[in-house]
Chain A
Amino acid sequence: MTSTACFIIVSRNDIPIYEAEVGSAAKREDAAQLHQFVLHAALDIVQDLAWTTSAMFLKAIDRFNDLVVSVYVTAGHTRFMLLHDSRNEDGIKSFFQEVHELYIKILLNPLYLPGSRITSSHFDTKVRALTRKYL
């Protein structure tokens, strides 16, 4: 069940505002950087693709070796990007939807500046629990 996955949230200005690395990768150090590099490289593709469809979930948009990049774009053009090796598309869609709800609650906090880093440990705990549940 535990698979490698890297989840980042990128704001509309292409600034990463949240990162979470989950999974049982053997070599953690360079794997983490590689994952983030792959996800950032996929941002260009996301930008083009986001305007072609009105759906929020963009499914798998890029591949790297055996890892797949799936992306979910919110109404405010905040991108949730997931690098994973599982094939469970429905699970990933539900994961994105639940993270979206958590993200909305963060946005409703008047003391949170949209586009700034998400530092809430509560959010972090919840997201990690969701990754264990769906991935």
Chain B
Amino acid sequence: MPPAAPRSGDAIFASVERVNAELFTLTYGAIVRQLLTDLEEVEEVNKQLDQMGYNIGIRLIDEFLAKSNVSRCVDFKETAEMIAKVGFKMFLGVTASVMNWDADGTCCSIVLEDNPLVDFVELPDTCQGLYYCNILSGVIRGALEMVAMKTEVTWIRDMLRGDDAYELQVKLLKQVPEEYPYKDDE
């Protein structure tokens, strides 16, 4: 049986079950607010959001690969395109673009023009250092780690802080080869 062709982000988005955008936004807002109340330190909340994103990412990658039928990506450039065009479209319904590739092709920026997580949100003065969408950086980091890439994801631009778009910098640290959990010679 020939392998199924990879599906585009739009096609998958149209076929999965969807949830009300306001419910999603308000739920995420409630999570962030509760974290702020519990942890009080903005840095701690950032770290916790990243950790939560990581836990989501390591599980999300399986769903992504199952639904999208993509074949193995040839290089990191293709991986970044996959995340931006298929991944974001599939799970958030927004299309991101990839830009600012560096010379070795290991570092790029994913730019989001709109972001459903931050509808109606305005950062008050008490939370100025907060990366409200830090969960997204954790998701990307976790998902890529499960496909053998160790990455570092940081926020370059954040609309809640006054910039004009959301920009995430994804930097490939190293490719980790598959390790078998048991030794060959036993």
Which of A10-18, A23-31, A44-52, A109-117 contacts the other chain?
A109-117
Q: Is the CB of B125 within 8 A of A111?
A: no
B interface SS class: helix
- How many B residues touch A, CB cutoff 8 Å? 15
In the A-B complex, list the 7 residue pairs whose CB atoms are closest, starting with the nearest.
A110-B29, A108-B120, A110-B33, A109-B120, A109-B122, A109-B121, A111-B124
Q: Interface 1/0s, chain A 66-109, versus B by CB < 8 A? A: 00000000000000000000000000000000000000010011
Q: Is the CB of B30 within 8 A of A110?
A: yes
The answer, yes or no, to whether B159 is at the interface (CB within 8 Å) is no
A110 to B121, CA, bound (A): 7
Q: Is the CB of B30 within 8 A of A111?
A: no
Q: Is the CB of A120 within 8 A of B120?
A: no
7 A-B interface contacts by CB (under 8 A): A109-B120, A109-B122, A110-B29, A110-B32, A111-B122, A111-B124, A122-B122
Please give, as numbers and ranges, the residues of chain B lying within 8 Å of A122 by CB-CB distance: 122
A122 to B124, CA, bound (A): 12
Q: Is the CB of A108 within 8 A of B125?
A: no
